[in-house]
Amino acid sequence: MGKCKNITRLLSDALDRPLKAGEWVAIGLHLPTCSGCRNYRKHIGLLRAAARAMSGLDDADGDRAED
Ligand SMILES: [Zn+2]
């Protein structure tokens, strides 16, 4: 059951570095099955959006819209 810990770590990493394709696949396979990780993703997504809004920066730095 270490899966969620791994996935949430990847979601967190995704804010700081580009994830590898295999890492996105792991996330994509896990999120539909796990409301906890979906909530985590939503949570950090909102935090990032808030941080961007507050800093006034909106740089599309290669972030893919994965929603
Ligand atoms: Zn999970």
Q: How far is the CA of 63 from the centre of ligand 1 (A)?
A: 22
Q: How far is the CA of 7 from the centre of ligand 1 (A)?
A: 6
Distance from the Cα of residue 60 to its chain's centroid: 15
What pLDDT sits at residue 61? 59
Domain annotation covers residue 3: no
Q: How far is the CA of 55 from the centre of ligand 1 (A)?
A: 30
Instruction: For 13-65, write each residue's pLDDT tens digit.
Output: 998 899 999 999 999 999 999 999 999 999 998 877 788 788 876 655 555 55
63 Rama class: left (phi>0) / alpha (psi -120 to 50) / beta:
beta
Q: How far is the CA of 41 from the centre of ligand 1 (A)?
A: 10
Q: Give dist(CA 7, CA 36) in Å, integer.
A: 10
Domain annotation covers residue 39: yes
User: Which residues form the domain of 35?
Assistant: 23-54
Q: Give dist(CA 35, CA 48) in Å, integer.
A: 20
What is the number of domains present in the chain? Answer: 1
Rounded average pLDDT over 3-18: 93
Please give the structure tokens belonging to residue 28. Answer: 């994509």
